[in-house]
Structure 1
Amino acid sequence: MASDVGSRAFQNARLQKKHRKQADELLPRAVAAYRAGRPAEAQAICGQVLALLPDHFDALHLLGVVALDGGQLDLAEQALTKAVEIDPRHAEALSNLGLALFNRKRFEDARKCQERAIALKPNMVVALTGLGNTLMRLGRPEEAIAAHDRAIALKPDYADAYCNRGMALLPLARNVEANQSFDRALSLNPRHMEAMFGKGLASINLRHSNDALAAFDAALAIRPHAAQVLAQRGRLHQQAGRFDPAMADFTAALAIDPRQDMALLGFAQLSVIKDNIAPAMDACRKVLEQNPESEVAWTWLGECFCKQGDLATALQHFERALEIKPDFGDAITAKIFLLDFMPDTDFAQHQAVRREWWTRIGSKITRRPPPLRDRDPERRLTIGYVSSDFRNHSAALVFLPVLRHHDHKAFKVVCYSCSPLQDGMTERCRAAADLWVDAWQMSDEELTDRIAADEVDILVDLSGHSAGNRLPVFARKPAPVQVTAWGSGTGTGLPTIDYFFADPVTVPEEARPLFAEQVYDLPAVITTDPLQGWQPTPLPMLRNGYVTFGVFNRIDKISDPALALWSRLMGALPDSRIVIKNGALDEPLLRDGLVARFVAHGIAQERITCLGLSTRDQHIAQFAAIDMSLDPFPQNGGVSTWESLQAGVPVIAKLGHGAAARAAAAINTAVGLGEFVAEDDDGYIAIALRYAAQPAELAKLRAELPAMVAGSAAGDVETYTRKVEEGYRLFWHHYCASS
């Protein structure tokens, strides 16, 4: 018995020795194959070694490295975990296991491995910069930068460490410094694709779109099928309004990697812009399946619900995004916009969420020292206007009249255009300015510097919290006096903005203490140029024998309470019709959904006409078929209210509980049409029924209304502009008198 045991042990020892010899012959071949770029061969040879000796450390380690390079993360983790179990003090194996865990998004486990590797081998630069990447993913960018700096100090020519350091600087908004790190990496390795990609990201953040596009194109020349680069280039095209190239890049990225989150989110955003809601929602949900903590996906999913009129669900999604990232500006802006549309919200809630933007974002931006200006109260003043809407946009219809009628002897007009999109309206705005600055490729810091260099006395925000705003510039306070006006007309919540142009109806006295800005009254919160070439038209009711109501507004302004009230009105006038006009109604899903809402209230489908996109002239011409316009609420019409009145079609408005819910009432009041302003739902219907029963009186008003509008202080754009300039001069006097 003892001799048999001894014989087997001897035979096993001989076999092990034989296997060891074979393994020792095979492993160098595996290493050579790996170094020669033949990973499949290297992996196969490692498999042969492990079939002979399952605990062969070097074969396990090499197999793990080969699998890691090839994206076989399961195999890499298994092989490297076993290697570390065999030799727990092997720093390289620990570092490589950390990288495998990092790629599997198990960042806390990766950190532990990398820190163990560094403890065993403090000068291991690969582990140090790998730890830096892990710390960044764990939301610890400052520690990440320190780890990369240690790696660079040990190996000053290590391009990967410079690149990784640049990536860690991006979430801290240290974009200029990040660009310097990427440039250093590229000086060491001109074909470093990740550094070129990072340079593109930093350039996007700095608004240097041309530089970003060049960087992404260069990165794709190095690696044509890099899905993340295609996705970011698509994002860049989208920001510039180049929607077809953007969609092409998103589609190409998703063909390579169907789960690429930036491509999915870009596809979702572009789909929302084009009113293709169902595919947008699907893309957002795919992102959330793989990353439930994506604040961007939650925000865009909320935007999808906004488009469908489900505001309560949308608000929940915006709040979820802010739970994940409390300073996520897109979600706060979306929430601000949404609350203006939600029934039963009021001035207090609207201004509270604007202050939320200031608390979470604006207050953390460093304010510039007070600029030095000549405090002569009567000298020529430089007025700077900041907007992304110096183009074919409804906001431009509101501020262009003021630009055109300024007294240039008393005021120098500077326009800071923050959009790459230009058209005929851009040229009209440019012609009205003394100085035009294309600021769309300026970072917030660069634009602030330019405004200071131009010695702007009064800086005017024309966007509020709407898309394309530059409120972070106003948070820096580059001008002595700052004003918000026209483009949004609801206040900003920024204590660095001194004044807000409104009127006594839009912002009543009792609401004014809620605003961060001091309210200054104009004849109306907005104005617009008179219609060109418009001729009065007969009252349609006289030939039709029934009333035709018009709603020429965005359909997302058609709240459930507004639609229910209009349905009630149409129920009281069984022969009446309603025409709803908006470009979004070309989308069948949205059009059919809107009609279905009326049908659910008992209004027959044939009584509803939906009109889609048209030129502005065609849009205005449609008022010839309308007897009375119905103003939506709580988000009123602005330019659409003016257009209707100028065309001779009175607008029935209802006073609401926020600035956006009182704009139409303010315009009506300003042009002498106060009898078309209701205090409540019953009053709204009473106005409509009264004039429906008095076609002669309505026809007389239709004929007289354009002249009434043009003769009012709000409708006469020259008079209106003088009122604006009186405000600027008063603001400057106050500044000059201040200590």
Structure 2
Amino acid sequence: MQSTIGSRAFQNARLQKKNRKQADGLLPQAVAAYRSGRHADAQTICGQILALVPDHFEALHLLGASALDSGRLDLAEQALARAVAVEPRNAEAQANLGLVLSSMKRYEEARAVQERAIALKPNFATALTGLGNTLMNMQLFAQAIEAHDRAIAAKPDYADAYCNRGMAQLLLLRNEEARQSFDRALALAPRHMQATFGKGLVNINLRHFEQALVAFNAALAIKPDAAAVIAQRGRLYIQMARFEEAEADFNAALATDPMLETALLGRAHVCVLTERIAPAMAACKRVLERNPASEVALAWLGACFAKQGDTAAAIQHFDRALEIKPDFEDAILKKIFALDFYPGADIAVHQAVRREWWDRIGAHIPRLALGAIDRDAERRITVGYVSSDFRSHSAALTFLPVLRHHDHQPFKIICYSCSPLVDSVTEHCKAASDGWVDAWQMSDEELAVRIRSDQVDILVDLSGHSAGNRLTLFARKPAPIQVTAWGNATGTGLPTMDYFFADPVTVPEAVRPLFAEEVYDLPALITTDPLPGAQPTPLPMLQNGYVTFGVFNRVDKISDQVLDVWSALFRALPDARVVVKNGALDDSFLRDGLIARFVAHGIAESRLTCLGSSMRQEHIAAFALVDISLDPFPQNGGVSTWESLQAGVPVVAKLGNSSASRAGGAIVKAVGLDDWVAEDDEAYVAIALKYAADPSALARLRAELPARVASSPAGNVVTYTRKVEEGYRTFWRRYCAAGG
């Protein structure tokens, strides 16, 4: 019996020795296949080795490394965990297992394994910089940089460690330090793709977009199929307003990596910008299926709901994004904008969320030292205007009249343009200014220094919290006096903003203490130039036999609250029709959704005409179809209200409990049509019914209204501009009298 057992043991030992010898003979083949990038062959050979010797450490380690390199993370984890079990004191295997776990986003486990590797081998540079990357993904940026520094100290010529440190510095917005780290990596390894890519990211942070594009293209020359780089270039193209190229990059990145979050979110972004809401929502939902905590996906999905007029759902998504990332500026901005459309929000709510922007973002931005200032109260004042909308944009219609009619003897006018888009309106803005600065590729710091060197006395924000704003610049206070006006005139919540141009109706005296700025009254919140070449048109109802209402506003301004009121109006006027005109109606998803909402409120589709985008001349001509315009609420019309009045079409408006819901009524009152402004829903309907029943009075008003508007203090753009200039001089005299 004993001899039988001994014989079996002897035979097993001989077999194991034979298997080991055969396995060791195969190992060089596996290594050669791995080094030549033939991962499938390497993994097959490793499998053959492990079939012979299941605990063959070298084969397990090589199989794990090959699987990691080829993206087979489950196989990599399995192989490396077995390797570590076989040789727990092998630092390299521990480090590679840490890389796998980090790639699987199991960061706590990865950190523990990487720290074990470093404990086994304290100067292990690869493990140290791998740990740094894991810490960076855990949002522990300072500790990440410390780990990368230790890697560099252990291996001063380690390009990867410099690059990885740069990525961590980038996330802390330490842009100059990040650039230096990437430059050092490139000095050691000139074709280091990630470092080249990193330089592109630095340049995006600094708004140096052309330089960023050069860097991304260089990175793609090194590795043409790098999906992450392609997707980031797509994001850059959005910043450069090159939307078709952006979308092409997102599609190319997704062809390589169908679930790449950056590319999916980029696709959502570009679709929202080009009014294609259904594919934007689909992209956001794909991200959230895999990453429910993606604050960016939540913010863009919220934007999609906002576009459809579902403001409550939009705000819920923005709040969820802010729970995940409290300093996520884009979500705060989107929430601020959406709350202007929300029926339940009043001025107190609006100003509180603007203060929230300051607390989360603006308060952490250092102010610029102003230096010496000439406090001569009567000298020529330099006024700087900052906007991304010196182009064909509704905001430009509100401030171009002021630019065009400034008196350039007492005022020097400089425009700081923050958009790459230029057109004929841009040329008009340039012609109206004494100085023009293309600032769209200037960081806030660079632009602040330029404004200071231009000796701007009064710096005017023309964007508020709308898209393309530079409020982070205004947080630095680069000018002695700062004003917010016109483009999105709702108050900013910035303690560094001194004045807000408004009017007594839009911002009643009782609520003014809620604003961060001092409110200064103009004849109206905004004005616009008279309509070019506009001719009086006949009243349509005289020919049609029924009244046609017009809503030439953003479709997201059409709230359920206002649809309730309009449905009551349409029940009282069973033959009435309504024309809704907005560029967003080119999107069938939004158009069909809007029609469905009208139908749900009892207004048949046959009574509704939807018109999409057109050239401005055609847009104005469409008012010939309309007898009476209906101002939406709680977010009123602005430019659209002026256009309607100037075209001879009176506007029914209602005063609400927020600036956004009082702006339309303020304009209507400013041209003397006080009896067209209601205090409540019933009065709104009553006004529309009253004038719909009196076509002769409506026809007379239609003929008189353009001249009446043009002669009013709010509609006469020269008078209006003089009032603006009186404000500037008043602000400057106060500043000088106070000694700064």
Letter in 2 for 1:3: S
Paired residues for 1:104-253 under 5 Å: 104-253=104-253
Q: Is the 8 A contact 1:227 1:253 kept in 2?
A: yes
In structure 1, C-alpha distance between the alignment counterparts of 2:136 and 2:729, rounded to whole Å = 50
Paired residues for 1:667-686 under 5 Å: 667-686=667-686
In structure 2, C-alpha distance between the alignment counterparts of 1:71 and 1:599, rounded to whole Å = 52
In structure 2, C-alpha distance between the alignment counterparts of 1:213 and 1:120, rounded to whole Å = 43
- TM-superposition CA deviations, 1:271-296 (whole Å, max 9, x none): 22232222211111111112111100
Which range moved further: 442-451 or 476-485?
442-451
Tell whether 2:421 aligns with 1:404. Answer: no
Q: Is the 8 A contact 2:370 2:452 kept in 1?
A: no
SS of equivalent residue, structure 1 residue 386:
strand
In structure 1, C-alpha distance between the alignment counterparts of 2:36 and 2:572, rounded to whole Å = 85
Which range moved further: 235-244 or 726-735?
235-244
In structure 1, C-alpha distance between the alignment counterparts of 2:71 and 2:301, rounded to whole Å = 31
Shift in alpha-carbon separation, 1:673–1:25, aligned structure 2, 3 A? same
In structure 1, C-alpha distance between the alignment counterparts of 2:611 and 2:706, rounded to whole Å = 24
Q: Post-superposition shift, 1:36?
A: 4.3
Q: Post-superposition shift, 1:163?
A: 0.9
In structure 2, C-alpha distance between the alignment counterparts of 1:42 and 1:680, rounded to whole Å = 77
In structure 2, C-alpha distance between the alignment counterparts of 1:22 and 1:668, rounded to whole Å = 92
In structure 2, C-alpha distance between the alignment counterparts of 1:436 and 1:133, rounded to whole Å = 44
Q: Post-superposition shift, 1:690?
A: 1.4
Letter in 2 for 1:94: Q
Tell whether 2:75 aligns with 1:75. Answer: yes
Paired residues for 1:507-586 under 5 Å: 507-586=507-586
Q: What corresponds to 2:386 in structure 1?
A: 386
SS of equivalent residue, structure 1 residue 161:
helix
Q: Post-superposition shift, 1:111?
A: 0.6
SS of equivalent residue, structure 2 residue 660:
helix
Q: What corresponds to 1:472 in structure 2?
A: 472
Paired residues for 1:449-468 under 5 Å: 449-468=449-468
Shift in alpha-carbon separation, 1:602–1:289, aligned structure 2, 3 A? closer
Shift in alpha-carbon separation, 1:531–1:37, aligned structure 2, 3 A? closer
Q: Is the 8 A contact 1:167 1:198 kept in 2?
A: yes
Q: What corresponds to 2:724 in structure 1?
A: 724
Letter in 2 for 1:238: I
Q: Is the 8 A contact 2:278 2:589 kept in 1?
A: no
Structure 2 stretches of 5 or more lacking a match?
none
Q: Post-superposition shift, 1:7?
A: 2.1
SS of equivalent residue, structure 1 residue 659:
coil
Which range moved further: 298-307 or 688-697?
688-697
- TM-superposition CA deviations, 1:51-103 (whole Å, max 9, x none): 22211212211221122222221111111111111111111110011011111
Q: Post-superposition shift, 1:28?
A: 3.5
Q: Post-superposition shift, 1:233?
A: 1.1
Letter in 2 for 1:686: A
SS of equivalent residue, structure 1 residue 384:
strand
Q: What corresponds to 1:649 in structure 2?
A: 649
In structure 1, C-alpha distance between the alignment counterparts of 2:696 and 2:466, rounded to whole Å = 42
Paired residues for 1:630-649 under 5 Å: 630-649=630-649
Q: Is the 8 A contact 1:371 1:479 kept in 2?
A: no
Q: What corresponds to 1:369 in structure 2?
A: 369
Tell whether 2:425 aligns with 1:425. Answer: yes
SS of equivalent residue, structure 2 residue 475:
helix
- TM-superposition CA deviations, 1:412-433 (whole Å, max 9, x none): 1110000000000000001111
In structure 2, C-alpha distance between the alignment counterparts of 1:135 and 1:8, rounded to whole Å = 52
Q: What corresponds to 1:266 in structure 2?
A: 266
Tell whether 2:604 aligns with 1:600. Answer: no
Q: What corresponds to 2:63 in structure 1?
A: 63
Which range moved further: 543-552 or 674-683?
543-552
Which range moved further: 172-181 or 511-520?
172-181
Q: Post-superposition shift, 1:309?
A: 2.1
Q: What corresponds to 2:500 in structure 1?
A: 500
- TM-superposition CA deviations, 1:427-479 (whole Å, max 9, x none): 00011111100000011111111111111111100000000000000001111
Q: Is the 8 A contact 1:265 1:297 kept in 2?
A: yes
- TM-superposition CA deviations, 1:475-530 (whole Å, max 9, x none): 01111100000011100000000000000000001110100000000010001111
Letter in 1 for 2:13: A
Paired residues for 1:269-418 under 5 Å: 269-418=269-418
SS of equivalent residue, structure 1 residue 542:
helix
Q: Post-superposition shift, 1:603?
A: 2.4
Which range moved further: 517-526 or 32-41?
32-41
In structure 2, C-alpha distance between the alignment counterparts of 1:380 and 1:508, rounded to whole Å = 32
In structure 2, C-alpha distance between the alignment counterparts of 1:38 and 1:595, rounded to whole Å = 58
In structure 2, C-alpha distance between the alignment counterparts of 1:37 and 1:507, rounded to whole Å = 68
In structure 2, C-alpha distance between the alignment counterparts of 1:173 and 1:44, rounded to whole Å = 45
Q: What corresponds to 1:689 in structure 2?
A: 689
In structure 2, C-alpha distance between the alignment counterparts of 1:40 and 1:552, rounded to whole Å = 62
Q: Percent identity?
A: 72
Q: Is the 8 A contact 1:371 1:480 kept in 2?
A: no
Which range moved further: 102-111 or 346-355?
102-111
SS of equivalent residue, structure 2 residue 228:
helix
In structure 2, C-alpha distance between the alignment counterparts of 1:494 and 1:598, rounded to whole Å = 39
Q: Is the 8 A contact 2:308 2:555 kept in 1?
A: no
In structure 1, C-alpha distance between the alignment counterparts of 2:331 and 2:582, rounded to whole Å = 26
Q: Post-superposition shift, 1:585?
A: 1.4
- If the length of structure 2 is used for normalisation, what is the TM-score? 0.98
Tell whether 2:254 aligns with 1:254. Answer: yes
Q: What corresponds to 1:698 in structure 2?
A: 698
In structure 2, C-alpha distance between the alignment counterparts of 1:512 and 1:7, rounded to whole Å = 100
Letter in 1 for 2:51: A
Which range moved further: 541-550 or 375-384?
541-550
Q: Is the 8 A contact 1:546 1:575 kept in 2?
A: yes
Q: Post-superposition shift, 1:37?
A: 4.0
Which range moved further: 568-577 or 519-528?
568-577
In structure 2, C-alpha distance between the alignment counterparts of 1:270 and 1:624, rounded to whole Å = 34
Letter in 2 for 1:241: A
Q: What corresponds to 1:14 in structure 2?
A: 14
- If the length of structure 1 is used for normalisation, what is the TM-score? 0.98
In structure 2, C-alpha distance between the alignment counterparts of 1:2 and 1:699, rounded to whole Å = 120
Q: What corresponds to 2:44 in structure 1?
A: 44
In structure 2, C-alpha distance between the alignment counterparts of 1:212 and 1:474, rounded to whole Å = 25
Aligned residues: 739
Letter in 2 for 1:679: E
In structure 2, C-alpha distance between the alignment counterparts of 1:184 and 1:348, rounded to whole Å = 51
Paired residues for 1:624-635 under 5 Å: 624-635=624-635
- TM-superposition CA deviations, 1:144-180 (whole Å, max 9, x none): 1111111112222111111111111121111222122
Q: What corresponds to 1:708 in structure 2?
A: 708
Q: Post-superposition shift, 1:24?
A: 3.3
SS of equivalent residue, structure 1 residue 246:
helix
Structure 1 stretches of 5 or more lacking a match?
none
In structure 2, C-alpha distance between the alignment counterparts of 1:309 and 1:711, rounded to whole Å = 36
Letter in 1 for 2:698: L
Which range moved further: 36-45 or 310-319?
36-45
SS of equivalent residue, structure 2 residue 629:
strand
Q: Post-superposition shift, 1:204?
A: 1.2
Letter in 2 for 1:263: A
Q: Is the 8 A contact 1:461 1:483 kept in 2?
A: yes
In structure 2, C-alpha distance between the alignment counterparts of 1:620 and 1:577, rounded to whole Å = 19
